Structure 1
Amino acid sequence: MQNSHTQWRIDFARHLAERLLAFEGIKAIVIAGSVARDYADAYADLEIPIFWETLPDDATRHAIVAALDASFLYAYDGPACEDQLMIGGFQVDLWHISVAHQDAILEDVLHNYHFDLSRLNALDTIRSCIPLYGAEIVQNWKRRAREYPDALAEQIIREHLNLFSVADLFVLAQRNNPTAFYAQLSFLQQEVFLVLLALNRSYFPTFKWLYQALDSMPVKPAAIGKRFRQAFEGSRQDALIDTKQFLQETRQLVEKQFPLIDLAPIYRRLAYVRAAHQRPLQR
């Protein structure tokens, strides 16, 4: 059952979609973001991707803003193809996407194995979106996005495993640089998250939904969401120790699914700790 924050936003999106359909060339309208995933809270905005046969020109986009009784949150940015609007004090983001572009993204990911985060997020958006118009087109995209080739997962895992190391984190802890330490800690947690997404054949929901995505994963280190949070709440030494531990646990999960990946370099990286040198080296 959808929470109350989600439900009224869906109702409002349906109302806006009716107005949008006055414009020619729209092939599909969907709800995306936190509302589509039922993660909405009191601060959630409303994200509405609009799929066009041909992208609308500047005049059409301004006409849409007028038809919705909206105003631009900041300033109009034509090349961005995203209009951040305010309607009655509530933020609504319209994404303008061509059908051909969406088809090309699916092809790029599923057959060419392009895995930049933008493309992976586009497939996650299709998986989770709620169709408001053009259901046949959207359902076809959803059917295609259910795929997640093993070869794609392997490439993603190889890419991010190469960054599994606590050597820099160790040095930053010794240097008492909490700003850089927690930046590196966040980076390593995000790298683990990206590997776990691939192991679970899940596309990228953005880091904003990291904890919700971790909660729903069947394949993951034990209590990983709780451990991620605790790393920022306890001592830096404890964070360092457990970060190394969950990097190792994630490596073990990879080994079970992809035994042909050479994990020897990862073993060496995780074992390495930079030594302190108090005296000049002997020549």
Structure 2
Amino acid sequence: MNDHTRRRVTLAQTLASVYAPHPEVACVVVGGSVARDLADARSDLELGVFWHSPPTDDDRAALLRAGHVRHPRSFPYFPDEDLWLDQGLVDDVRLDIIHRTVQGVEQGIEAVVTRGEWSVYALNALAVLQYALPLTSMESLSGWRERIAVYPPVLRDAVIDAHLEPTPTVWLRQHVERGEWILLYERLVRDQKHLLMVLAALNGVYLPHAEFKWLAALEASLAWAPRDLTARLAAVLSGPPREGVEVLHGLWEETYDLVARHLPEVGQTAKARRWLNQLAAPSVEP
């Protein structure tokens, strides 16, 4: 555990001693870069609080005061992510306190694992359950980890199917020739995210960060991936645009090879490769 992580874990333990005694709190965990021992001097502290019933505004405000959180801000319920968020400072460390209900977590697991109903936020929420550092009772967390331990085929197939067709390379080359930089980089970023979604699903890995941070750590968790994945993804955006387009094309070709080799039952792979390699840009792009 590095020094930045250790300091933030100590702060989290102090906060957990404030939140855990509340009768409606089931468990408290640390997430984010601290839980993965990736914290640096600028890292915030992400505390997860799981409730038996939805937290009230009064409870949240009282706990922030009891925890001596400075400059507190509380946000209303976020339905897309099924959470409540408080922010502030402890010492000089930025703090995010993410509140979820036990029922909400269990319903989310059921939707993703049983029915393959996914979103980036839902996949990230399951990843957090896997790597979070528990600060209180492990009972709820252990049960959730057992339920998500095996990445289900229904989810794998749904995620791969939704992300297997990137922008045709000929379109990207055309954007470079025309100097259409905003459209080019918008598509390069989107297609990189889609490629990572395919690779994560292929390897049975829930998305560790909803905004695609920690790519080196993600690459290390992938048994099947293009060589030098993180460095090549960086080159797509940091090098000359024309070269970046070709680097991304190569990454997709290697990813199709991996899907075809390890999941031959995915019939969309050949169709997606033809889409990537179409020979001429249509007069009107969709």
TM-score calculated relative to the size of structure 2:
0.91
Q: In the alignment, is residue 133 of structure 1 matched against residue 133 of structure 2?
A: no
Q: Which residue of 2 aligns with 1:239?
A: 244
Q: Which residue pairs with 2:63 in the alignment?
A: 64
Percentage of pairs with the same residue:
28
Partner in structure 2 of residue 272 of structure 1: 278
Per-residue Cα deviation, 1:50-90 (whole angstroms, up to 9, x for no partner): 011111111111101110111345x4322241101222232
Q: After the TM superposition, which residues 64-143 of structure 1 pair with which residues of structure 2 at under 5 Å, given as runs? A: 64-73=63-72, 75-80=73-78, 81-143=84-146
For 1:39, the aligned partner's letter is L
Query: CA shift at 1:24, angstroms?
Result: 2.1
Instruction: Confirm whether residue 26 of structure 1 aligns to residue 19 of structure 2.
Output: no
For residues 136 and 126 of structure 1, what CA distance do their matches in structure 2 show? 12
> In the aligned structure 2, how far is the partner of 1:201 from the partner of 1:6?
27
Q: Give, in whole Å, the separation in 1 of the partners of 2:223 and 2:245.
A: 25
Cα separation, 2, equivalents of 1:166 and 1:51: 45
d(CA) in 1 for partners of 2:128, 2:282: 47
Contact 2:170–2:281 (CA under 8 A) maintained in structure 1: no
Structure with larger Rg: 1
| Partner-residue secondary structure (3-state), 1:183 | helix
Quote how far apart the aligned CAs of 1:220 are: 0.2
State the alpha-carbon separation in 1 of the partners of residues 70 and 10 from structure 2.
20
Deviations 1:124-154 (A, max 9, x none): 0000001111211111111222120122112
Query: Hey, what does 1:280 align to over in structure 2?
Result: none
Q: Deviations over 1:92-127 (max 9, x none)?
A: 111111111111111111101111111111100000
> How does the TM-score come out when normalised to structure 1?
0.92
- 8 Å Cα contact 2:11-2:90 kept in structure 1: no
Aligned residues: 275
User: How do residues 91-240 of structure 1 correspond to structure 2 at under 5 angstroms?
Assistant: 91-163=94-166, 165-206=168-209, 207-240=212-245
Residues in 1 aligned to 2:47 and 2:74: alpha-carbon distance in whole angstroms: 17
Gaps of 5+ in 1: 278-283
Superposed displacement of residue 223, structure 1: 0.9
Check whether the contact 1:51–1:96 (CA below 8 A) recurs between aligned residues.
yes
State the secondary structure of the residue aligned to 2:232: helix
Name the structure 2 match of 1:281.
none
Gaps of at least 5 residues in structure 2 are 79-83
Cα root mean square deviation, aligned: 1.7
Match of 1:3 in 2: 2
| Cα distance between partner residues in 1 of 2:152 and 2:53 | 30
1:256 counterpart = 2:261: yes
Asked if structure 1 preserves the Cα contact closer than 8 Å seen for 2:172 and 2:245, the reply is yes
Q: Which residue of 2 aligns with 1:44?
A: 43
Structure 2 CA distance for aligned equivalents of residues 251 and 237 of structure 1: 22
Counterparts of 1:99 and 1:167 in 2: how far apart (Å)? Answer: 48
Structure 1 window deviating more from structure 2 (82-91 vs 46-55): it is 82-91
